[in-house]
Amino acid sequence: MRAFIAGAGMAEMEYRASLRQGLQGFGASIGDMEVAEIDGDTFLFAAAGHGAGTSVYRVDATGAVTLADQAVHAQGTGAFSDASIALMEIDGRSRIVTALHGEPGLQRLAVGGDGALAEAATRVPISGGRIDDAISLAVQGELLFAGHRGGGLSVNRVDASGAVTQLRSLGSELGQVTALAVVEVQGTAFLLGTAATRDVVVCWRIGANGALSEAARIGPDDGLGLAGPVALTVTEAGGAAYVVVAASDSASLSVLSVGASGSLRAVDHLVDGLDTRFGGASELTAVTRDGKGYLVAAGADDGMSLFSLLPDGKLLHLDAIADATDTPLDNVSALAAVSTGAGLRIFAASGTEAGIGAFDVAMGAGPVTGTSGDDRLTGTGGPDTLVAGAGRDRLTGGAGTDVFVFDGAGGRDSVADYRPGSDVIDLSLVPMLYSMDQLTVLPDEDGALLVFGDLEIAIESADGKPLESKDIAVTFGPSHYATDWIPLREITTGQRVTGTMGNDRLEGSTRGDELRGLGGNDVMFAGAGGDRFDGGAGFDTVNFSKVQGRVLVDLQTDVSSAGFARFFDFGHASGDAYTAVERFIGGDYADNLRGDAGRNTLKGGGVSDRLYGRYGDDVLDGGTGADALYGNRGADVMTGGPDEGRRDRFIYFHAEESGVGRGNRDVITDFTPGEDRIEISRFDADTLTGGKQGFTFIGARSFSGTPGELRAGAVSSEGITLVQADLDGDGTPDFEIELTGVMRLTAGDFLI
């Protein structure tokens, strides 16, 4: 399937003004803000601090705001630390229920269709229990859920008069339930809560009369790296329900999908960085515009960050704004947002500064995302954000400043018209990728190829000229961490360990096991015993990093009974067998990894390894140590690895092992002159003379028409050096290797 999709939209937050404060003190210490529609009109509700009260603002379709009404807190209200607002509609009447943290009980206000407050704030009578320490609220129909400072939560019913009856309490073992929200999935309602002292998110199924039964919980024990979850919000993308969780201690945002049974599955997890503003995150708000979801996060980081929620649940960072002298973004204490005709309007309040700031985001149709097939995404001629999907996608931005986003799903995507100095490659969605140092940039005649693991991005320049690293603007955004691993499983007897259709991490025991990855890009950890590995679909890896001994792997030939196998401890030497495995990672010993006719990725470990690519376009990485790399046939990419002072050797047996021209020749990404060596002494330098002849190194000079000449010349415009050999004396190369970087080589860099 191939989709052709056009769209637009980059987003930038811009401060406009602070809202009218009205009564004295009503713009200070805002504890919570909520947006709601009443009789077709949109209103913003804000609860201020001690000595003030609640403000109601009308927000029109353009985002313009007018103060509708204000009411002081109930008589006798003492000091309190924060506030939580819940909006309820009972018997056609809208009510505001407020919990003032540290004050006993709850307060209520009735709201008219014009936003006018129909009564003074009053304390809510409660029967059947106590709500003396509520710190979070959520609503489902006539049910009011309250999280308690002392631990656990209560389920309450609010009647038409506003009176509250407590139905039950539970969850005291969770400690403080710091945030609550309700979501409905396929007709079933669920309550979601964060327990900051237990570092978990819990989902309860809401039954008859408010009965709660736990459906799922997720936290660090399940591989989700959150600490101190204090805020959450529910939203929807791609027809699925999601909950976004902010954790202040881990400075993180986590996106969890909510299944029809109430199951929770992590789909994204990102951590604040230098270019974002959600460190110490404690406030979240979600808003939908043109069917697309957006999220704003803020807290103690003196600013806020804006994200787009993509259809697969991942968060794409769009913009960040820092506090300034005229903006209330110091220690943000409350957030809200609405969709407007031109984009979004965001409201933010500070815990230390007075006023509610209004920020506008102008945008077009928002980020355009690909499908799971092979897509062609096209911009509008303005500033566009195009997001590649899981297939082999081609992105064309057109005029304007464009952002091309890739998620690391693997495969080869392309950009058709990259403009240096204007366009940006966004790799923020690629897990475990943080800097340019992790990328391989291979310039070519009309652009460059970016490589990270099995992710390849062919970038074609708009003017058809080659691109170097310095020409390509890459943003890595906040750090995303892989969430789609299943937990490692320790098996006590030789058994079958089976993954899922996603990306799995599987580990066997010390006995002979069968590990099956099924779908996705799986990582299977090798151990002792004769194991059977079947990667299934996807780009799969067998990792020997946990074994203590030398590894022997040969994907083409059964070497388990070969004489030299006795010098090895694992892999084929211990009886392993491999099916549908594309990548091997060695251990900390001197390993011997050999590919086959497919496209293999072989990576050594900490000592001197031997890697053989054989046929196919392979990727070889020696890792640390003095390694020997044999690309063999095909256009291979080879990296000796970080091993200053230790020689890596790149060895060739036949001239046909590296062709001529881009796409045919091998690439060595980190050759160090005077340290590493290219060995071509094993094949004949002169095909016109009988016997085996050696090469004559001529430096960077041009061929003279003499057979057996070897030259190495820099191509400065492309940032590479070409090693070329003329075997038949016709003055053109018959053998060629590309070295990344401009360098000067001598005869000592070769074995000829």
Q: Are strands 637-639 and 666-668 parallel, antiparallel or unpaired?
A: parallel
**CB-based burial label for 238 (10 Å; 0-12, 13-18, 19+):** middle
Give the pLDDT score at 201: 96
Residue 489, pLDDT above cutoff 60: no
Q: What mean pLDDT is predicted for residues 485-502? A: 59
Tokens of 596: 């086959």
Give the pLDDT score at 129: 77
pLDDT confidence tier of residue 10, bands split at 50, 70 and 90? low
Task: Give yes or no for a contact between 306 and 320, defined as CB atoms under 8 angstroms apart.
Answer: yes
For 652-751, the fitting CATH number among 2.150.10.10, 3.40.50.720, 1.20.140.160, 3.40.630.10 is 2.150.10.10
Task: Give yes or no for a contact between 515 and 500, defined as CB atoms under 8 angstroms apart.
Answer: no
Give the pLDDT score at 9: 43
What whole-number distance in Å separates Cα of residue 307 and Cα of residue 231?
A: 16
What SS3 state is found at 30? coil
438 phi and psi angles, rounded to 5 deg: -85, -10
Q: Hey, what amino acid is at 551? A: V
What SS3 state is found at 723? strand
- 336-370 per-residue burial string, b: 16 or more CB within 10 A, e: under 16: bbbbbeebbbbbbbbbebbbbbbbbbebbbbbbbb
State what percent of residues in the chain have pLDDT above 90. Answer: 49
Task: Give yes or no for a contact between 451 and 470, defined as CB atoms under 8 angstroms apart.
Answer: no
How long a stretch of residues is the chain? Answer: 752
Task: Mean pLDDT check: name the lowest of 2-11, 23-32, 367-376.
Answer: 2-11
Tokens of 627: 């390694």
What SS3 state is found at 38? strand
Average per-residue pLDDT for the chain = 87
Q: pLDDT, tens digit, for every residue of 698-715?
A: 999 999 999 999 999 999
Residue 741, pLDDT above cutoff 50: yes
Task: Give yes or no for a contact between 53 and 96, defined as CB atoms under 8 angstroms apart.
Answer: no
Per-residue three-class SS string for 346-360: EEEEECCCCCEEEEE
Residue 3, pLDDT above cutoff 80: no
Give the pLDDT score at 323: 92
Task: Mean pLDDT check: name the lowest of 281-285, 389-393, 400-404.
Answer: 389-393
Residue 421, pLDDT above cutoff 80: yes
H or E segment and range at residue 218: strand 212-218
Give the pLDDT score at 8: 34
Q: Are strands 424-426 and 403-405 parallel, antiparallel or unpaired?
A: parallel
Beta-strand runs (E) in 60-176 = 65-72, 82-90, 93-101, 107-111, 122-123, 126-127, 134-140, 143-148, 153-158, 164-170
Task: Give yes or no for a contact between 583 and 600, defined as CB atoms under 8 angstroms apart.
Answer: yes
Give the pLDDT score at 4: 32
DSSP 391-405: S--EEE--SS--EEE
Give the pLDDT score at 491: 36
Task: Mean pLDDT check: name the lowest of 37-41, 340-344, 535-539.
Answer: 535-539
Residue 463, pLDDT above cutoff 90: yes
Give this prediction's pTM.
0.64
pLDDT confidence tier of residue 484, bands split at 50, 70 and 90? low
Residue 2, pLDDT above cutoff 50: no
State what percent of residues in the chain have pLDDT above 70. Answer: 95
Q: pLDDT, tens digit, for every residue of 227-248?
A: 889 999 999 998 899 999 999 8
Residue 507, pLDDT above cutoff 90: no
Q: Are strands 93-101 and 134-140 parallel, antiparallel or unpaired?
A: unpaired
What whole-number distance in Å separates Cα of residue 228 and Cα of residue 178?
A: 9
CA atoms within 13 A on the CB side of 107: 26
Q: pLDDT, tens digit, for every residue of 574-626?
A: 888 888 898 999 988 889 999 988 889 999 977 789 999 998 899 999 988 88
What whole-number distance in Å separates Cα of residue 469 and Cα of residue 450?
A: 9
**Domain ranges in the chain?**
29-124, 368-481, 652-751
What whole-number distance in Å separates Cα of residue 418 and Cα of residue 471?
A: 10
Q: Hey, what amino acid is at 668? A: I
Q: pLDDT, tens digit, for every residue of 72-87?
A: 988 777 666 688 898 9
Give the pLDDT score at 28: 86
What whole-number distance in Å separates Cα of residue 83 and Cα of residue 73?
A: 11
Q: Are strands 455-461 and 126-127 parallel, antiparallel or unpaired?
A: unpaired
Per-residue three-class SS string for 639-684: ECCCCCCCCCEEECCCHHHCCCCCCCCEEECCCCCCCCEEECCCCC
Give the pLDDT score at 602: 94
What whole-number distance in Å separates Cα of residue 321 and Cα of residue 15?
A: 9
What whole-number distance in Å separates Cα of residue 10 and Cα of residue 362?
A: 8
DSSP 198: T
pLDDT confidence tier of residue 410, bands split at 50, 70 and 90? low
Q: What is the signed CA dihedral for 4, 414, 257, 245, rounded to 10 degrees?
A: -120
Please identify which residue in the block is written with the tokens 């999220």: 295
Starting at the edge strand found earlier in the chain, the sheet holding 65-72 runs 32-38, 41-47, 53-59, 65-72
Task: Give yes or no for a contact between 327 and 15, defined as CB atoms under 8 angstroms apart.
Answer: yes
Give the pLDDT score at 266: 93
pLDDT confidence tier of residue 130, bands split at 50, 70 and 90? confident
Give the pLDDT score at 366: 72
Please identify which residue in the block is written with the tokens 């899922």: 500
Check residue 397 and give left, alpha or beta (phi > 0: left; psi -120 to 50: alpha).
alpha
Task: Give yes or no for a contact between 591 and 609, defined as CB atoms under 8 angstroms apart.
Answer: yes
Q: pLDDT, tens digit, for every residue of 259-273?
A: 999 999 999 998 888
- 389-421 per-residue burial string, b: 16 or more CB within 10 A, e: under 16: bbbbbbbbbbebebbbbbbbbbbebbbbbbbee
Give the pLDDT score at 567: 76
pLDDT confidence tier of residue 365, bands split at 50, 70 and 90? low
Query: Which of 32, 63, 64, 44 is closest to 344 using CA atoms?
Result: 63
What whole-number distance in Å separates Cα of residue 287 and Cα of residue 348?
A: 14
Which has the higher per-residue pLDDT, 523 or 496?
523
Starting at the edge strand found earlier in the chain, the sheet holding 541-543 runs 505-507, 523-525, 541-543, 583-585, 601-603, 619-621, 637-639, 666-668, 735-740, 720-726, 709-715, 696-697
Q: What mean pLDDT is predicted for residues 106-129? A: 84
Residue 677, pLDDT above cutoff 60: yes
What whole-number distance in Å separates Cα of residue 261 and Cα of residue 528?
A: 39
Q: pLDDT, tens digit, for every residue of 207-228?
A: 999 999 999 999 887 878 788 8
Q: What mean pLDDT is predicted for residues 120-141? A: 84
Q: What is the signed CA dihedral for 737, 741, 746, 748, rounded to 10 degrees?
A: -70
What whole-number distance in Å separates Cα of residue 61 and Cα of residue 112?
A: 20
Task: Give yes or no for a contact between 315 and 255, defined as CB atoms under 8 angstroms apart.
Answer: yes
DSSP 74: P
DSSP 466-533: ---GGG--EE--SEE----PPPP---SSS-EEE--SS--EEE--SS--EEE--SS--EEE--SS--EE
What whole-number distance in Å separates Cα of residue 263 and Cα of residue 342?
A: 37
